[in-house]
Structure 1
């Protein structure tokens, strides 16, 4: 069972991880997160980052090391990882890697309520999703190929490879779902359309080999 954490925002996990490298101020942390592409996995902005830093300091996982100023810029406080923070980082990662969590993705919620739309609307939307998934997969492949060409170790690309694998799995599922909805042998679409007061166009019956004539 996953442990209830003092700070549970995944942005905090990333902050703890990067502070193992060296002490940083929040602006430097933000730049490091973006430079490493973590904004593809963790949603954040400057406001949420500063809030997480405050929460981590209050929990005793990081501590202010020094405050400095460069020219006319505002003062910046540099934070360092504490022993408690290093322990929390390792325990948190162990939980996330070893224990599956029940998540609530928006697409699953949409699928659970898809019956509220008639199939005449649902199918085009699913086909549009397929197209967007294909575009996203191509973008992720380009990112991986570019990084590998620059001799980035594959270890540092595993989240992108996971993202690509999940993207492809979703594409396969959506393709299968569209086929089930549109295949006259399943009987889904006529009953579904009738519920919404729609009538589907007549379709030719399948021939002996299961193909429409």
Structure 2
């Protein structure tokens, strides 16, 4: 994986948004929010301005115009540069082609799963499964609604999210089945650790 001058994923979102047309950073934030990108990343105005400044410092975007309306502060409209287009394409190519381990809170919890008793683990996994199912249904409904007016090309990340949630649900269901049926290897020992 290449070390990037700006590696914050918000930078990727800014570059892709400015590819459409020059915009003021606040307008970029508005466009990202309207596309529900907050589900993928935090969009905080302070962070956004930091990312914009970093992108400009490295030549990926540049000021297209600056102006002031009345007593409002000066507003700078930015556009993507040729170097910014190259960086955007290279970054997306890397993200799509190269699997990268992502730190996951659930995986971290599973790595120390043994501190829970089996019965508590079952209750918590059931809670997680219910939340996953509700969230997946909400995502499916939103995808169905958006697919009526948004080309599929711009919805594939939602399809991926649904597929990942479905895979996690299947895995959690299988683990729950092993724990509740007693077929989970070492279950008696685990119960012994809990009481010991």
TM-score by length of 1: 0.88
**2:39 matches 1:31:** no
Aligned length: 196
What is the aligned partner in structure 1 of residue 16 from structure 2? 17
**2:122 matches 1:96:** no
**2:74 matches 1:75:** yes
Query: Which runs of structure 1 show a deviation greater than 6 angstroms over 4 or more consecutive aligned residues?
Result: none
Q: Give matches, 1:151-166, under 5 Å.
A: 151-166=149-164
Unaligned regions of 5+ residues in structure 2, if any? none
Unaligned regions of 5+ residues in structure 1, if any? 199-213
For 2:173, which of 172, 175, 179 is the aligned residue? 175
Instruction: Please tell me whether Structure 1 or Structure 2 has the larger radius of gyration of its CA atoms.
Output: 1
What is the aligned partner in structure 1 of residue 182 from structure 2? 184
1:110-158 residue CA offsets vs partner (Å, 9 max, x unmatched): 1111111111211101000000001101110110111123x32111111
TM-superposed CA distance for 1:187, in Å, is: 4.4
**Higher relative contact order at CA 8 Å, sep ≥6: structure 1 or structure 2?**
2
TM-superposed CA distance for 1:173, in Å, is: 0.5
* CA distance, structure 2, for counterparts of residue 86 and residue 152 of structure 1: 24
Q: Contact 1:17 / 1:89 at 8 angstroms: preserved in 2?
A: yes
